[in-house]
Amino acid sequence: MSAQSQYNYNAMQMPPDGPRVPRRTPMACQFCRGRKLKCDGVRPSCANCNRRGFPCVYVPVKPLARAGENWLIGGSSCGVRSYFIATRNIRLHKITGGQLAAKNVLMIQPMPSFVTTFPGIIPRLEATGMFRSSAHQAPNHIIMNEKYLPGQGIMPHQDGPAYHPVVATISLGSHTAFHYYRYKAQDANSIDVEDGRIIDSTPVLSVLLEPRSVIITTGNFYTSYLHGIQELTEDTIVANDGINQPKFEGLDTTIANWKMLAGSETRSAVMTGGTLKRGVRYSLTCRDVENVANIKSFLNRG
Ligand SMILES: O=C(O)CCC(=O)C(=O)O
Ligand SMILES: [Fe+2]
């Protein structure tokens, strides 16, 4: 089996704004579209990709609109920023769903309205179908990473067993370069040690995350691999030259989603090369915690 065929990777952009319209025919994945195959639309992997061991990628039509992004990070009285000011938190903050207690039980708390109402983060994620197999069919826990300044990143890590192995990461404010890594035997290229294990510094998969997009990580990519963001102020892209597909400078991994990019700047960078300066980025990490309790029933258990 090739290395690629072991991966179960899904990336997609946000479904369009507005009310959900029931779909009569399932959306076809990228592979089936390319080969003009009949796609059964099953998430996280359709039968055609599953049989071939290919990563199955669905790309719903439109990214989150700018109005939704502004509502979330633009300092409105109801948005994420006001929540941060209220809670005086600077960088990493669990914005909703409550705290994880012993044995990975989530002490559930109501979600703030900016994730349940406009711009509809929760309904949008439900509509992707990626949470269908999770306990609550939707995320019940969201972490806001507020915020990444240019030059900041996050070390390769795994999200761990507390959550159902599906995580949706929404990018707001700026693009970034997101990489998946694997553990390997120790040698000169090792970049880190975690629990005695060595992380290979060459990513197995690299993705250019655009603002207002979501990437959904599942399967082996959740359970076996690590993900991280390098500490860079800009990302230089070596263009697609008709033979080699676009790559981040210094890395030998194709930008896996280069054909799916929506923004003119990012598309031009992958086609002709260029440098994308990172701005201030916020991210929402949305997951489903299987075991939940509310504080009242927890105390009554006594
Ligand atoms: O900010 C991101 O895109 C990644 C955040 C992340 O990996 C996490 O919160 O576990
Ligand atoms: Fe993570």
Q: What ipTM is given for this predicted complex?
A: 0.98
For 183-220, the pLDDT digits (tens) are 886 665 656 555 678 889 999 999 999 999 999 998 88
Instruction: Quote the strand ranges of 101-212, DSSP E.
Output: 106-107, 141-148, 154-157, 166-172, 176-181, 183-184, 190-194, 197-200, 205-209
Output the CA 169–ligand 1 centroid distance in Å.
7
Two tokens, residue 238: 């070596």
Report pLDDT for 85.
45
Q: Check whether 300 has a pLDDT greater than 60.
A: no
Residue whose CA is at the smallest distance from ligand 1 atom 9: 285
Nearest ligand for residue 213 CA: 1
Report pLDDT for 8.
32
Ligand 1 residue neighbourhood (C-beta within 6 Å): 143, 145, 154, 159, 169, 227, 283, 285
Q: Are 112 and 95 in contact (CB under 8 A)?
A: yes
Percent of the chain with pLDDT over 70: 73
For 251-282, the pLDDT digits (tens) are 999 999 998 888 999 999 999 999 999 999 98
Output the CA 179–ligand 1 centroid distance in Å.
11
Report pLDDT for 239.
92
Q: Say which CATH class 4-16+60-300 falls into.
A: mainly beta
Residue 3 banded pLDDT, cuts 50, 70, 90 = very low
Distance from C-alpha of 254 to C-alpha of 238, rounded to nearest angstrom: 10
| Nearest atom of ligand 1 to the alpha carbon of 169 | 3
Q: Check whether 108 has a pLDDT greater than 90.
A: no
Q: Are 209 and 171 in contact (CB under 8 A)?
A: yes
Two tokens, residue 12: 């997609």
Instruction: Identify which of 228, 235, 226, 240 has the alpha carbon closest to the alpha carbon of residue 271.
Output: 240
**Strand partners for 289:** 163
What residue ranges do the domains of the chain occupy?
A: 4-16+60-300
| Nearest atom of ligand 1 to the alpha carbon of 157 | 7
| Nearest atom of ligand 1 to the alpha carbon of 176 | 3
Output the CA 228–ligand 2 centroid distance in Å.
7
What's the gap between Cα 12 and its chain centre?
9
Report pLDDT for 151.
93
What is residue 181's three-state secondary structure?
Answer: strand
CA distances from 246 to 8, 11, 12 (A): 21, 17, 19
Q: Read off the amino acid at residue 86.
A: A
Residue whose CA is at the smallest distance from ligand 1 atom 10: 159
Q: Are 270 and 264 in contact (CB under 8 A)?
A: no
Instruction: Identify which of 54, 92, 76 has the alpha carbon closest to the alpha carbon of residue 219.
Output: 54
Output the CA 173–ligand 2 centroid distance in Å.
18
Q: Check whether 137 has a pLDDT greater than 50.
A: yes
* b/e sequence 18-41, b meaning 16+ C-beta within 10 Å: eeeeeeeeebbbbbbeeeeeebeb
H-helix segments, 80-201: 80-87, 113-116, 121-127
| Nearest atom of ligand 1 to the alpha carbon of 159 | 10
**Strand partners for 148:** 281
Distance from C-alpha of 238 to C-alpha of 253, rounded to nearest angstrom: 11
Distance from C-alpha of 24 to C-alpha of 90, rounded to nearest angstrom: 45
**Pocket of ligand 1, candidates 93, 174, 229, 231: which has the most ligand atoms within 8 Å of its Cβ, to mutate?**
229
For 47-89, the pLDDT digits (tens) are 998 898 777 777 654 568 888 888 788 765 555 555 544 444 4
